[in-house]
């Protein structure tokens, strides 16, 4: 049986420099999801053209637009890169340049040229759930995102904040604290079922 061997992480994109190569529909979609999840992300976009909606969105965030064709010098200082052009040769060049410079790269809709995938994300306050289908079915990730948005209670953030306060009052060593919190929260899972 095939399994998903990806390692999920949550990035502080406020502390990173992200490059999006392209300015069309796919670039706009990637920027939309990035800013929805991380409104304080630092993003540079390079493309000979940008859609009007992309320009408007870029103006609401920490997004720099550069009207130009891709050059490897645009990778300088970047931590992760998303290639979204409709020219396969450019996307592969971005991938190869990123590999040569040890940059994380995602070539949209081309899993063999991806170090990471931008999966479905559900956010409710401090709770964030990321969904991956191992690059096999973005539509399934979208449907699962919609499902989790419905089943995760709106007040989950209140629970998280209250548990954080409670956690600080628990006495004992790390193991005792974990045991106490596990006992205290086991009813949460039963309520969701």
Look at residue 145 and tell me whether its pLDDT is greater than 60. yes
Model confidence pLDDT, tens digit, residues 33-53: 999 999 999 999 999 999 999
User: Quick one: the chain helix, strand, coil %, rounded to 5?
Assistant: 45, 20, 35
Which pLDDT does position 62 carry in this prediction?
A: 93
Q: What is the mean pLDDT of the chain?
A: 91
**DSSP result, 123-156:** EETTEEEEE--TTS-HHHHHHHHHHHHHHS-TTH
What pLDDT score does 50 carry? 97
pLDDT at residue number 138: 81
Question: CB neighbours of 142 closer than 8 A, spacing ≥ 6?
Answer: 120
**Confidence (pLDDT) at 182:** 84
Max mean pLDDT range (56-60, 92-96, 132-136): 92-96
Classified as helix, coil or strand, 34 is helix
The answer to whether residues 155 and 126 touch, using CB atoms and an 8 Å cutoff, is no
Counting residues of the chain whose pLDDT is more than 70, the rounded percentage is: 97
Question: Both tokens of residue 117?
Answer: 């995938």
Mean pLDDT of 54-64: 94
Q: Which of 89-93, 116-120, 123-127, 143-147 is the least confident region?
A: 116-120
Tokens describing residue 114: 């991806």
pLDDT for residue 191: 54
């Amino acid at each position: 049986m095939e399994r998903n061997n990806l390692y999920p992480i949550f990035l502080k994109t406020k502390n990173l420099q992200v490059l999006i190569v392209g300015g069309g529909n796919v670039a706009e979609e990637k920027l939309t999801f990035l800013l929805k999840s991380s409104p304080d992300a630092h993003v540079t976009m390079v493309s000979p053209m940008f859609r009007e909606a992309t320009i408007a969105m870029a103006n609401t965030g920490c997004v720099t637009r550069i009207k130009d064709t891709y050059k490897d010098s645009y990778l300088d200082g970047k931590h992760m890169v998303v290639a979204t052009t409709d020219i396969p040769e450019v996307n592969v060049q971005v991938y190869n340049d990123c590999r040569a410079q040890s940059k994380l790269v995602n070539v949209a809709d081309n899993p063999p040229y991806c170090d990471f995938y931008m999966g479905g994300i559900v956010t409710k306050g401090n709770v964030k759930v990321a969904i991956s289908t191992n690059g096999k079915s973005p539509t399934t990730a979208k449907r699962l995102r919609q499902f989790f948005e419905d089943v995760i209670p709106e007040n989950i953030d209140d629970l998280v904040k209250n548990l954080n306060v409670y956690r600080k009052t628990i006495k004992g060593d790390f193991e005792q604290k974990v045991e106490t919190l596990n006992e205290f929260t086991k009813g949460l899972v039963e309520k969701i079922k």
